[in-house]
Amino acid sequence: MDALKAKIRAIADYPKPGIIFRDVTTLLGDARAFRAAVDAMIAPHAGAKIDKIAGIEARGFILGGAIAHQLSIGFVPIRKKGKLPFDTLAQTYELEYGTDEVEMHTDAISPGERVLIIDDLVATGGTAEAAIKLLRRAGAKVEGASFVIDLPELGGAERIRAMDVPVTALVAFEGH
């Protein structure tokens, strides 16, 4: 995983001073690294019955789409409020200052379907928690959440595990 970690660009002081932004687009732009990341995200779920991949906007769409293709299963976009054209279910979640909302189409999941959540990074876990709640309200069984990057001191992976959802991450960056 060190080879994958080396493909992730660090951008200091973005989006504000003191933050180190972990830019996964450099990994996505490298064909071998992208393939290795997709394969590694699938590996912990080998043999599991997964019906759909739910990708969280926006980089989760790229990774999740590739994983859904690899597994020959459907893909469900979890989008920011107001981006989907059909009837939606919505889930509000807390931000540092205020709230935000994610949505999915009402017909994206059939009750009982087993879903794996995919995104590029887990930080505080708020968006992933909202996605889990949204999928469960639709009747899905959330089999796990898989990320390229974990920022462990922000507690997001533990927050998701507290919801009885297994979490995997390919690399971790301490001190984000």
Q: Which of 78, 67, 72, 50 is nearest to 166 (CA)?
A: 50
Q: Are 119 and 60 in contact (CB under 8 A)?
A: yes
Q: How many domains does the chain have?
A: 1
Task: Based on the residue annotation, tell me whether 96 is a catalytic residue of this protein.
Answer: yes
Q: Which of 9, 35, 59, 137 is catalytic?
A: 59
What domain range includes position 62? 48-172
Asked if residue 137 is part of any domain, the answer here is: yes
Tell me the sheet residues that pair with 53. Answer: 75, 116
Q: Which of 25, 6, 22 is nearest to 14 (CA)?
A: 22
User: What pLDDT score does 97 carry?
Assistant: 74
Whole-structure pTM value? 0.96
Q: Calculate the CA 49 to chain-centre distance.
A: 19
Averaged in consecutive runs of 10 residues, what is the pLDDT profile of the chain (176 residues)? Answer: 95 92 97 98 94 97 98 97 97 85 97 98 96 98 98 96 98 86
Q: What is the largest CA-CA distance in the chain?
A: 44
User: What pLDDT score does 176 carry?
Assistant: 63
Q: Which of 9, 79, 96, 159 is catalytic?
A: 96
Asked if residue 32 is part of any domain, the answer here is: no
User: What pLDDT score does 175 carry?
Assistant: 74
Task: Based on the residue annotation, tell me whether 114 is a catalytic residue of this protein.
Answer: no
d(CA 80, CA 43) in angstroms, rounded, equals 29
State the CATH number of the domain containing residue 113: 3.40.50.2020
User: What pLDDT score does 98 carry?
Assistant: 81
